[in-house]
Copies of this chain bind each other. A is one copy, B any other.
């Protein structure tokens, strides 16, 4: 039996804990224990209490696998739970394998365990992880990232994918696939994490000229925006506008227009029944083919698959 220690704390996301517990329980090859910093029960984010098996501070024998679930509150540096990072720093060096779900990556990073490593976290936390811990190579589109004996995963339900990856590593693909089937999930999800992110326009720029240009794109993404037309709108030179885009938005004007059009197309695919050529036209991509190319480039999936996944229920007899 492999010993898996799951780190829990007040505010931990219930599903980040329950997904791995369910997956790891199935093949009867693991002993899972929940550990809080001081051994006291914790209250999950949904208000349900979790009894724990041990205190992190009492752990003397390193487990085979240390698994750290997340909490979206970890996005703020003040949101770090007391005592977890210290104990991770103490325990992790002797552990064979370290894994995180969702925001758990921020706890690993704070304990220095991600320095110089490739890692992922919830799409909404990727930027925070990269900014707060520049020594980490963040992979924002991945569902699970394996870097040697370190595995990190995307948000919440990705803890199920992560745990299936652990099973596959330990017990082979047949066992992992069988467990996936019983839980009624895929062994391998189609596409990366980017498709789950909320389509939204970029941040509101501070510079008034840049803001005028950005507002014009947002107001009508399908208009034929060029650097020149945007410069005219902003009443600055094209050269200056290009500089403003790069400095404040970290993008060229063309990249900014493309990402605004992508957000518009995603919203149309999600909430309208417009056919693909109409979506392409209304979002400013002109042709199906351009729409498809941009979707594959940014989200790794074609537009029709995107619609299938994020358009509301109600078809298929439901």
Q: Is A58 in contact with chain B by the CB < 8 A criterion?
A: no
A225 to B37, alpha carbons, bound, how many Å? Answer: 64
Q: List chain B residues, Cβ under 8 A from A173.
A: 271, 312-313
Q: A144-B318, A155-B182, A197-B181 are in contact. Are A313 and B187 (CB under 8 A)?
A: yes
A120 to B188, alpha carbons, bound, how many Å? Answer: 24
User: Contact at B313–A168, with CB atoms within 8 Å?
Assistant: yes
Interface-side segment among A46-54, A227-235, A241-249, A275-283: A46-54
Q: A49-B51, A318-B146 are in contact. Are A309 and B14 (CB under 8 A)?
A: no
A227 to chain B, nearest CB (A): 33
User: Contact at A311–B21, with CB atoms within 8 Å?
Assistant: no
Q: List chain B residues, Cβ under 8 A from A185.
A: 156-157, 196
Q: Is A66 in contact with chain B by the CB < 8 A criterion?
A: no
| Interface size bracket, A side | 35 or more
This chain: copies in complex? 2
Q: List chain B residues, Cβ under 8 A from A196.
A: 180-181, 184-185
Q: List chain B residues, Cβ under 8 A from A158.
A: 184
Q: Is A174 in contact with chain B by the CB < 8 A criterion?
A: yes
Closest B residue to A185 by CB, please name it.
Answer: B157
User: Contact at A313–B193, with CB atoms within 8 Å?
Assistant: no
Contact with B along A28-52 (1 / 0, CB 8 A): 0000101000000000011111110
Q: A21-B48, A46-B21 are in contact. Are A157 and B184 (CB under 8 A)?
A: yes
With contacts A173-B312, A190-B190 known, what are 16 further pairs, Cβ within 8 A? A14-B22, A15-B18, A15-B19, A143-B184, A144-B313, A155-B183, A156-B184, A156-B185, A157-B157, A157-B185, A158-B184, A165-B313, A176-B313, A178-B198, A185-B196, A188-B309
* 5 A-B pairs closest in CB distance: A18-B18, A173-B312, A155-B184, A15-B22, A186-B309
Chain A residues close to B by CB (< 8 Å): 13-15, 17-19, 21-22, 25, 32, 34, 45-51, 72, 122-124, 139, 142-146, 154-158, 160, 164-165, 168, 173-174, 176-178, 180-190, 192-193, 196-198, 270-271, 305, 308-313, 316-318
